[in-house]
Structure 1
Amino acid sequence: MKNFLLSFLVFILLINYIPHVYAIEEKPQIVGPTAVLMDFTTGQVLYDKNMHQRMFPASTTKILTAIIALEKGNLSDIVTANDDVTKIDGNAMYLVPGEQLSLEQLLYAMLLESANDAAVAIADHIGSSIEGFADLMNKKAKEIGANDSHFVNPNGLPNENHYATPYDMALIARYAMNNETFRKIVSTMHYQIPPTNKFNKPRDLWISNKLIKPTSFHYDGADGVKTGYTVAANQVFVGSATRNGHRLISVIMGDEGANIWSDTIKLLNYGFNNYNLVKLVDKGTIVTYAEIGKVKFKLPLVSKDAFYYEVPKGEENSIKSKVELNNDINAPIKKGTILGFLKYTLDGKEIGSVQLLANETVYKNSIGTYYNESKTNVVKDHNKIMTYIEFFSGLLVVLLAALLWRKKKIKAKSKYIFTK
Structure 2
Amino acid sequence: MSNQIFNRALKIVGFLALSAAFAVPAADAATAKRVIVKKHHVTKAAASKKVVATRKSMRFEAAGRRQSVIHAYIPAKPSFGQIAGLHSAQDPLDLKSSVALVIDQDTREVLLSKNDHAVLPIASLTKLMTGVIVSGAKLPMDEMITVTQDDVDTEKGSSSRLRVGTTLTRGELLHLALMSSENRAAHALGRTYPGGLATFVSLMNAKAKMLGMNDTSYVEPTGLSSRNQSSAQDLATLVNAAHGDPMLRELTTSPGYQVAVGKRTLQYNNTNRLVKNPEWDIGLQKTGYISEAGQCLVMQTKIAGRKLIMVFLDSAGKLSRLGDAERVRRWVESNPVAEHKVQISASAKQIDG
Normalising by structure 1, we get a TM-score of 0.54
Aligned to 2:105: 40
**CA 1:272–1:128 in structure 2 vs 1: closer, same or farther (change >3 Å)?**
farther
**CA 1:136–1:109 in structure 2 vs 1: closer, same or farther (change >3 Å)?**
same
Distance 1:42 1:65 in 2: 27
C-alpha displacement of 1:245:
5.6
Distance 1:219 1:54 in 2: 32
Letter paired with 2:190? A
Distance 1:245 1:183 in 2: 19
Q: Structure 1 residue 90 and structure 2 residue 158: aligned?
A: yes
Aligned to 2:126: 61
Q: Structure 1 residue 177 and structure 2 residue 240: aligned?
A: no
- Retained in 1: the 8 A contact 2:243–2:283? no
Aligned to 1:381: none
- Retained in 2: the 8 A contact 1:109–1:115? yes
Aligned to 2:222: 155
Distance 1:156 1:33 in 2: 19
Q: 1:260 aligns with which of 321, 326, 337?
A: 321
Task: Please show how residues 70-89 of structure 1 align to structure 2 within 5 Å.
Answer: 70-72=135-137, 73-88=139-154, 89=157
**Once the two structures are aligned, what percentage of the paired residues are identical?**
26
- Retained in 2: the 8 A contact 1:211–1:261? yes
- Retained in 2: the 8 A contact 1:174–1:249? yes
Moved more, 227-236 or 84-93: 84-93
- Retained in 2: the 8 A contact 1:38–1:249? yes
For the residue of structure 2 that corresponds to 1:181, the secondary structure is helix
For residues 281-314 of structure 1, the C-alpha deviation after alignment (integer angstroms, 9 at most, x for no partner) is xxxxxxxxxxxxxxxxxxxxxxxxxxxxxx6389
Bigger radius of gyration, 1 or 2?
A: 1
> Relative contact order: is structure 1 or structure 2 higher (C-alpha 8 Å, sep ≥ 6)?
2
Letter paired with 1:204? Q
Alpha-carbon RMSD: 2.3
Distance 1:43 1:90 in 2: 38
Task: Please show how residues 346-361 of structure 1 align to structure 2 within 5 Å.
Answer: none
Distance 2:101 2:300 in 1: 12
Aligned to 2:233: 167
Distance 2:193 2:92 in 1: 42
Distance 1:190 1:171 in 2: 27
Aligned to 1:135: 202
Distance 2:153 2:327 in 1: 38
For the residue of structure 1 that corresponds to 2:111, the secondary structure is strand
Distance 1:176 1:191 in 2: 21
For residues 3-59 of structure 1, the C-alpha deviation after alignment (integer angstroms, 9 at most, x for no partner) is xxxxxxxxxxxxxxxxxxxxxxx9523121111012222333221101010111001
For residues 315-368 of structure 1, the C-alpha deviation after alignment (integer angstroms, 9 at most, x for no partner) is xxxxxxxxxxxxxxxxxxxxxxxxxxxxxxxxxxxxxxxxxxxxxxxxxxxxxx
Q: Structure 1 residue 211 and structure 2 residue 280: aligned?
A: no
Q: Structure 1 residue 312 and structure 2 residue 329: aligned?
A: no
C-alpha displacement of 1:156:
0.6
Q: Structure 1 residue 144 and structure 2 residue 204: aligned?
A: no
**CA 1:244–1:35 in structure 2 vs 1: closer, same or farther (change >3 Å)?**
closer
Gaps of 5+ in 1: 1-25, 276-310, 315-420
**CA 1:208–1:233 in structure 2 vs 1: closer, same or farther (change >3 Å)?**
same
For the residue of structure 2 that corresponds to 1:37, the secondary structure is strand
Distance 1:150 1:194 in 2: 35
C-alpha displacement of 1:223:
3.8
- Retained in 2: the 8 A contact 1:35–1:166? yes
Distance 1:91 1:114 in 2: 12
For the residue of structure 2 that corresponds to 1:148, the secondary structure is coil
Q: 2:308 aligns with which of 248, 258, 283?
A: 248
Aligned to 2:285: 225
- Retained in 2: the 8 A contact 1:37–1:271? no
How many aligned positions are there? Answer: 246
C-alpha displacement of 1:270:
3.1
Normalising by structure 2, we get a TM-score of 0.64
For residues 88-144 of structure 1, the C-alpha deviation after alignment (integer angstroms, 9 at most, x for no partner) is 5325332423x3311110011111221110011000122543322110110011112
**CA 1:32–1:244 in structure 2 vs 1: closer, same or farther (change >3 Å)?**
closer
Aligned to 1:51: 116
Letter paired with 1:259? S
- Retained in 2: the 8 A contact 1:32–1:256? yes
- Retained in 2: the 8 A contact 1:241–1:268? no
Distance 2:251 2:234 in 1: 22
Distance 2:196 2:187 in 1: 9
Distance 2:115 2:214 in 1: 16
Distance 1:274 1:68 in 2: 38
**CA 1:220–1:194 in structure 2 vs 1: closer, same or farther (change >3 Å)?**
same
Task: Please show how residues 369-380 of structure 1 align to structure 2 within 5 Å.
Answer: none
Distance 1:71 1:91 in 2: 29
Letter paired with 2:206? K
**CA 1:244–1:31 in structure 2 vs 1: closer, same or farther (change >3 Å)?**
closer
For residues 149-170 of structure 1, the C-alpha deviation after alignment (integer angstroms, 9 at most, x for no partner) is 10101111133x3211111111
